[in-house]
Amino acid sequence: MVDVSGGCSGERGGGRKRQRDVDGGECGVEWWLAVVVGFGGVGRGGEEKRGDGGNMSPPSSVTARGRLAVLAAHLAASPVEESPADIERWCLSAGLVPPPGNLKGTLTVVDERTGKKYQLQVSEDGTLKASDFKKINSGQKGDKGLKLYDPGYLNTAPVRSSISYIDGDAGILRYRGFPIEELAEQSTFLEVAYLVLYGNLPSQTQLADWEFAISQHSAVPQGILDIIQAMPHDAHPMGVLVSAMSALSIFHPDANPALRGQDLYNSKQVRDKQIARILGKVFAPIAEFLTGKLIRLNTLQAPTIAAAAYLRLAGRPPVLPSSSLSYSENFLYMLDSLGNRSYKPNPRLARVIDILFILHAEHEMNCSTSAARHLASSGVDVYTALAGAVGALYGPLHGGANEAVLKMLNEIGTVDNIPDFIEGVKNRKRKMSGFGHRVYKNYDPRAKVIKKLAEEVFSIVGRDPLIEVAVALEKAALSDEYFVKRKLYPNVDFYSGLIYRAMGFPTEFFPVLFAIPRMAGYLAHWRESLDDPDTKIMRPQQVYTGEWLRHYMPLKERMVSTEADRVGQVSISNASRRRLAGSGV
């Protein structure tokens, strides 16, 4: 499928048309005749092309009308001048040409401190081994070689992975090679979960077996339920999930390498059993906590839990899922049926839920996924590793970012207030949430899909007035040089919170709805790390900046020089002051 929205299709990433190279330059018209139109004709330099278009003929799904539309858009010139490097980047973003090939070679480093030269090996994928820098040292006593200082791992790749691919400059996200836009348009969440975990989309038989395997591990140990019942009634659902995930390791000692041996997970059968267990159990503890009743889950366990949580907040009893409905249809059925077993949810809203889950299923080495791999590298059981991942997702800079967007839009209030807000951001007096991303320096491809979903939801349940503010804010930011220069584009959180709110989810459940699909990504990375021969226990180094050498001083000789040195002081409450004012204390 030719990506008509990006690259060499006639539109660049920001939607601005570009000048065409009609004279046969990079991505010229003759080249496009071979690629887009897909039949014989004159190639570059007047050479005759094969009748089948060579190896560049497009899939049959591209209709003749679509080809002509793309070609017409391609020929529509604009005054924007572009360099060959820009054109090459757009070709890459459209997926029409592969990324750079073999980058293997050597890098020569000259240490001007010593005059020595070092040859560092560059791998085929353009990476250097950080450990190779250790051999570069000043020759001074105690110098153990160079370290790479990289706060936040901005340019550090601790793993090689085949699960997902991101090109932040071009705005590309792919799961196992499949563009996220195609999966969101054509696939389902259960298919995508299988794809992310096992590398390929399942056949009909594989999908049925997959669902059955999960359903066989949906019961929750009574001990887990007892632990949850002891929690405060108003505990945050993400806190419940972290606690329950960690506790599951106690009730499955057969899955603990610390008890069964470090080679336990060498068995793929053991691994797959844990995957089925987690996908079958992980949200049941939340359901028990929020409903006071264990819901026996089938293959549709995740929406069952989210629905039970919603009903608990609404003061309504839990509703069991229907075996005749799909994954996402069951979710809405349990929210809205009010016990009416003949109720059928809106299929368009059910599809919105499915797409949102697809978009959040995986995103390579994000904070929480990195936490999962970091913990798993120690050989810890998978339940503890995923509990740590969910804990990282709980953070407001990660899973809770869309809540910050809603708060920001509410503070702006109306479209008329946007100019003042923009100026406040530029003057560093206000903070803009939902814009910018650690990886994406272009429009987040997930945000494009979610923006369209928002309109779909509003056409059914009513238009949220904040969408007007969001759209106007996006337009204002993308036309302002301040944001364009800094490559600040809307990310996945900018519109997702509006959809969740429009569909009636309370804000504290936003990260839970994030965690449901992302569990597939966590498990895929856990599974991949077990097969990676380069996997080692993750143990980053540090750059020590403290005191070099001091000697112990007796307690009576130590003095606090200033009030600022009085660290660790705990303020006394008024109740304690009242008690201390009495006698006999």
Q: Going by C-beta distance under 8 Å and a sequence separation of 6 or more, which residues neighbour residue 8?
A: 27, 32, 74, 87, 90, 91, 94, 96
Both tokens of 157, joined, read 């790749």
d(Cα 108, Cα 149) in Å, to the nearest integer?
A: 20
Start-to-end CA span in the chain (Å): 80
| Best CA proximity match to 513, nearest among 397, 393, 410 | 393
Of 408 and 338, the one with more pLDDT: 408
User: pLDDT at residue 17 above 60?
Assistant: no
In Å, how far from its chain's centre is CA 366? 6
**DSSP assignment string, 38-99:** -S--B-GGGPBPPTT-GGGPPPTTS-HHHHHHHHHHHH---S----HHHHHHHHHHTTSSPP
Of 562 and 457, the one with more pLDDT: 457
Kind plus residue range of the DSSP H or E element containing 384: helix 382-393
Both tokens of 232, joined, read 């405060």
Q: What is the band of 53 on the pLDDT scale with cuts at 50, 70, 90? A: very low
d(Cα 104, Cα 106) in Å, to the nearest integer?
A: 7
Q: Summarize pLDDT for 511-532 with one digit per residue, the tens.
A: 888 988 899 999 999 999 999 9
Both tokens of 256, joined, read 């603990």
Angle at 114 between CA 109 and CA 118, to 5 degrees: 25
Q: What is the mean pLDDT of residues 81-104?
A: 62
- Residue 450 confidence (pLDDT): 93
Q: What is the mean pLDDT of residues 476-501?
A: 91
User: pLDDT at residue 539 above 80?
Assistant: yes
- Residue 436 confidence (pLDDT): 86
d(Cα 305, Cα 289) in Å, to the nearest integer?
A: 10
**DSSP assignment string, 516-576:** HHHHHHHHHHHHHHHH-TT-----------S-S------GGG----SGGG-TT--PPPHHH
Q: What is the band of 218 on the pLDDT scale with cuts at 50, 70, 90? A: low
Q: Summarize pLDDT for 345-357 with one digit per residue, the tens.
A: 999 999 999 999 9
Q: 118: exposed, middle or buried (C-beta count within 10 Å: 0-12, 13-18, 19+)?
A: middle
Query: What Å distances lie between residue 303 and 212, 300, 327, 503, CA to CA?
Result: 17, 6, 7, 14
User: pLDDT at residue 376 above 80?
Assistant: yes
Q: Which range is most confident: 61-75, 223-237, 528-542?
A: 528-542
Residues forming a β-bridge with 167: 172
- Residue 18 confidence (pLDDT): 38
Both tokens of 332, joined, read 């809405």
Q: 340: exposed, middle or buried (C-beta count within 10 Å: 0-12, 13-18, 19+)?
A: exposed
Q: What is the band of 227 on the pLDDT scale with cuts at 50, 70, 90? A: confident
Rounded percentage of the chain residues whose pLDDT exceeds 70: 72
**DSSP assignment string, 280-332:** HHTTHHHHHHHHSSPPPP-TTHHHHHHHHHHHHHTT----PPPTTS-HHHHHH
- β-strand 105-111 against 172-175: which pairing, if any? unpaired
d(Cα 355, Cα 398) in Å, to the nearest integer?
A: 20
What is residue 435's DSSP assignment? Answer: B
User: pLDDT at residue 257 above 60?
Assistant: yes
How many Å is the maximal CA-CA distance in the chain?
A: 105
User: pLDDT at residue 321 above 90?
Assistant: no
Output phi, psi for 185, to 5 deg. -80, -35
Annotated active-site positions, please?
398, 437, 493
Both tokens of 88, joined, read 């090459």
The Cβ of residue 531 has, within 10 Å, a number of other Cβ atoms equal to: 11
